Structure 1
Amino acid sequence: MSLTFSIKPLHSDAFDPFAAYLADHVADNGRDGMPLFQPLARADSRFEGERARAFRQALDVPLFEPGWRRAWVARLADGRIIGHIDLRARAEAHTSHRCILGMGVDAGRRRTGVGAGLLAHAREWATSQTALDWIDLQVLSSNDSAIRLYRRSGFVDIGEIVDLFRIEGRSMGFRSMALKLMREGH
């Protein structure tokens, strides 16, 4: 099933509706027997306080300055947010040619093309930034549907740390994936 939606940049002055969406989205982490999609216990699956402030502030950091972040939201025609994607600076020194991807899609809108659309949009934006050569991401090794989506979008596995997390009595690995940005003429 395909869905009609638009993808627009997220700016800090329009952050509150996004924060409400993301708080609801993060609260779905492991809900009702669904697998975890973040390395957080159910009780810690919140988006508020310092976590929300840091995300909002990073949107205003100039591109390629330490701590920068750019984000986009997928919206239905009525304005409802149904997904998001963000790219942000790596914290390590000498890594300004790489960025880290984070994303999420509303539980009721998965497998409708929203995730693939968001990934294509972020890839297009990143490719237009000549200083970026790679997009990196980390995903729980048990999140098979996300891993399949990332692979279909061109990401390749670069490693896995098995048993990195022990959440609610379960051992969980963390998979690293990367996408080399290809530009015309290179």
Structure 2
Amino acid sequence: MNPLLSAGTCMTGSLIRLRALTFHDLPYTLSWRNDQRSLRWFKSQEPLQSEAHEAWFQRYVAADTRDCMFFAETHDGMPVGQTSVYNFEPGARRAEVGRFLSAPDLRGKGLFREAMLLTLDWSFENLDLDELHLEVFANNDRAIRLYRSAGFAESGASAGMLTMRLSRADYLRAGGSGGLGVIQ
């Protein structure tokens, strides 16, 4: 886990707050990941078992890495989603953003969009990155619209997947998060 993330790390927007993912969040992330409305957008579409999910998180916590996993919740504590920054490229100021999960029943309310924007803000500001990229199924129109609204642009396609990239300059040009995030 990235040493910049601590139990108290938090970014606050107008609708949600973003904090470090903890072991106690795993039941939510597992249920969102295994929900049929989400599962179809993963490369591995087999439901995960609790033991495997917990082991994955334990490896993340124990790893000496720059990876960052966030949990989004409303200001009154309602779970909203998960975001991550990972796959840092050695010698480059680039990383992948993703491992996006959202509470299926809360989709379409702008909550996860704010979580993603806070993650982008935090990544550019705290990790000194020049570029973020992600992969998305080419037929996931809803996600592609969301990513484009943040400034991501398609940079390649292969095997039914789109690669999208976002430079720090393009993010700022697209308006960034509009200053919605406050680090606490």
Q: How does the TM-score come out when normalised to structure 1?
A: 0.72
- State the SS of the aligned residue for 1:94: coil
Aligned to 2:23: 15
Given that residues 17 and 75 in structure 2 are in contact (C-alpha distance below 8 angstroms), is that contact kept between their aligned partners in structure 1? no
Q: 2:110 aligns with which of 113, 121, 124?
A: 113
CA 50–180 in structure 1, closer or farther in 2 if over 3 Å, else same: same
Given that residues 131 and 167 in structure 2 are in contact (C-alpha distance below 8 angstroms), is that contact kept between their aligned partners in structure 1? yes
> What is the CA-CA distance between 1:30 and the residue it aligns to?
4.8
Whole-angstrom distance in 2 between the partners of 1:155 and 1:106: 23
The reply to whether residue 153 of structure 1 matches residue 155 of structure 2 is: no
Runs of at least 5 residues in structure 2 that lack an aligned partner in the other structure: 1-13, 173-184
Aligned to 2:43: 39
> What is the CA-CA distance between 1:57 and the residue it aligns to?
3.7
Aligned length: 157
Amino acid at match of 2:154: D
Kindly provide the CA deviation profile for residues 119-176 of structure 1, in whole angstroms up to 9, marking residues without a partner as x.
2101111121363111111111121100110001110101111xx3xxxxxxxx1111
Amino acid at match of 2:93: H
Runs of at least 5 residues in structure 1 that lack an aligned partner in the other structure: 165-172
- Provide the alpha-carbon RMSD of the alignment: 2.6
Aligned to 2:81: 83
Given that residues 131 and 165 in structure 2 are in contact (C-alpha distance below 8 angstroms), is that contact kept between their aligned partners in structure 1? yes
Whole-angstrom distance in 2 between the partners of 1:146 and 1:47: 26
Identity %: 20
Amino acid at match of 1:15: F
Kindly provide the CA deviation profile for residues 58-100 of structure 1, in whole angstroms up to 9, marking residues without a partner as x.
35655xx4xx32122221344231212111134xx63541111
Q: 1:175 aligns with which of 162, 167, 170?
A: 162
The reply to whether residue 101 of structure 1 matches residue 109 of structure 2 is: no
- State the SS of the aligned residue for 2:115: helix
- State the SS of the aligned residue for 1:126: helix
Aligned to 1:169: none
Whole-angstrom distance in 1 between the partners of 2:157 and 2:49: 26
Amino acid at match of 2:163: S
The one of the two structures with greater contact order (alpha-carbon pairs below 8 A, sep at least 6) is 2
Please identify the structure whose Cα radius of gyration is greater: 1
